[in-house]
Amino acid sequence: MSSNLLKTPKDRGRAGDKIFSGVSLGAGILILVILFSVAMFLVVQASPVFTADPETVTGGEGFAAYIFPIVVGTVIAAAIALLIATPVGILVALFISHYAPRRLARIFGYVVDLLAAIPSVIYGAWGYLVLAPQMSTIFTWLAENLGWIPIFAGPASQTGKTILTAGIVLAVMVIPIITSLSREIFLQTPNLHEEAALAMGATRWEMVRMAVLPFARPGIVSATMLGLGRALGETMAVALVLSPGLLSASLISSGNQTIAAEIALNFPEAFGLRLSELIAAGLVLFVITLIVNMIARLIISRSKEFSGAN
C-alpha cells in the first residue's frame, strides 16, 4: 500500500514528462509545417511570373525591373520607421521600468499596451487626415533650407503624403511594440544586479548601462525584429498615407512605393499573371525578412551568455 503510494506519482511523473516534451516538440514542428506550406503556397502561386515573357510583366521589362524599385521603397520606409522607433521605444521602456514614479509607470505601461492594439486602418486615417497636412509645411521648409541634401530635394509635396510621412506613421505604430516587450524584459533584470551596481556608487544611468542593458540585449533585438516585421509587412497604413510613385531619393516629394502597399492597392483588381506578380512580390518580402532576421540572429548569438536559462 505504502509502496504503491510512493510509486504511482513517480510513474505518472515520468509519463507526464514524456507527454509534455512530446507535445511541445510537436507544437514546434507544427509551426515549421505551417511555415513550409505558406512558403510552398507562395512559390507555386508566384511561379508563372518567373517563366513569363518579360514584356507581359507590369512595366514591360521583366519581374526584376518591376520589383526592384518597390523593394528599395520598402527598405527605406522600414529603415525610417526603425531609426525613429528603436531608440525612442527603448528609452520609453526605460522610462516606464526605471525612471517613472512606480504608480505612474503602471498606468503608462498600460497605455502603451493599448496603443499597440490600435488597428492599422486607424493609424493610416490619422496619418493622412492629421499628420500629412502638418508635415507638408515642414517639407516646404526643408526643401527651401536643406534642399541641397538629396533626401530633402524639392519640390516638396503639397499634400504631405510622402515616404517620410509613411515612415513616421510606421514608427508610431512600431514604438508600442518595442516598448511593450522591452519593458517586460527590463523589469525582469535581477534586482541583485541592479542593487549591486548602485551600492558601488554607480549613477542610475551607469546601473542601467551595466546591469539592465546587457541583460536585456537579446530581448531588445527580438522586440526590434518584431517591430521590423510589422513595419515591413504593414499594408493599410502605408496604402492610405503614401502617395506612391517612381523610386526617388527625396523623402519629401511624392514617390516610392512599398511591397505590402503595392499588393494591397492592386490585389482586388488583379487576376492571372498580375496576381502572380503580386504574390511573387509577397515572396520577395518574405525573403527580405529572412535576410534581416539572419543578421539579427548573428547579433543575438554574440550575447547568449545573458540568458537566464542557458
Distances in whole angstroms, Cα of residue 250 to Cα of each of 59, 73, 81, 146, 235: 22, 11, 16, 12, 22
Residue 157 vs 250, nearer CB to other proteins: 157
Name the grid cell of 16.
507526464
Q: Distance between CA 224 and CA 218 in Å, rounded?
A: 10
Greatest Cα pair distance, the chain, in angstroms, is 91
Return the range that interacts with other proteins (CB under 8 A); candidates 47-55, 83-91, 146-154.
Answer: 83-91
Q: Identify the DSSP state of 306.
A: G
- Per-residue binder mask for other proteins (CB under 8 A), 136-175, x = binder: ---------------------xxx-x------x---x--x
Count the site residues for other proteins by CB under 8 A. 130
CB of 235 to other proteins, least distance (A): 6
Return the range that interacts with other proteins (CB under 8 A); candidates 49-57, 146-154, 231-239.
Answer: 231-239
CA atoms within 13 A on the CB side of 58: 18
Contacting residue, 156, 230, 251, 277, with other proteins by CB under 8 A: 230
Best CA proximity match to 242, nearest among 232, 229, 252: 252
Return the range that interacts with other proteins (CB under 8 A); candidates 49-57, 146-154, 268-276.
Answer: 268-276
Q: Distance between CA 156 and CA 138 in Å, rounded?
A: 9
Contacting residue, 198, 245, 247, 249, with other proteins by CB under 8 A: 245
User: How many CB atoms within 10 Å of residue 197?
Assistant: 19
Contacting residue, 94, 142, 164, 197, with other proteins by CB under 8 A: 94
User: How many CB atoms within 10 Å of residue 200?
Assistant: 10
Residue 72 vs 292, nearer CB to other proteins: 292
**Binding to other proteins, residues 11-70 (CB under 8 A):** 13-14, 16-17, 19-21, 23-28, 30-32, 34-35, 37-38, 41-42, 45, 58-59
Phi, psi of 116 (to 5 degrees): -65, -15
Q: Distance between CA 247 and CA 237 in Å, rounded?
A: 19
**Binding to other proteins, residues 183-222 (CB under 8 A):** 184-185, 187-188, 190-191, 203-206, 208, 215, 218-219, 222
CB of 258 to other proteins, least distance (A): 10
Residue 134 vs 150, nearer CB to other proteins: 134
Contacting residue, 225, 251, 252, 280, with other proteins by CB under 8 A: 225
Q: Distance between CA 76 and CA 256 in Å, rounded?
A: 9
Name the grid cell of 230.
510589422
CB of 47 to other proteins, least distance (A): 14
Return the range that interacts with other proteins (CB under 8 A); candidates 49-57, 90-98, 146-154.
Answer: 90-98
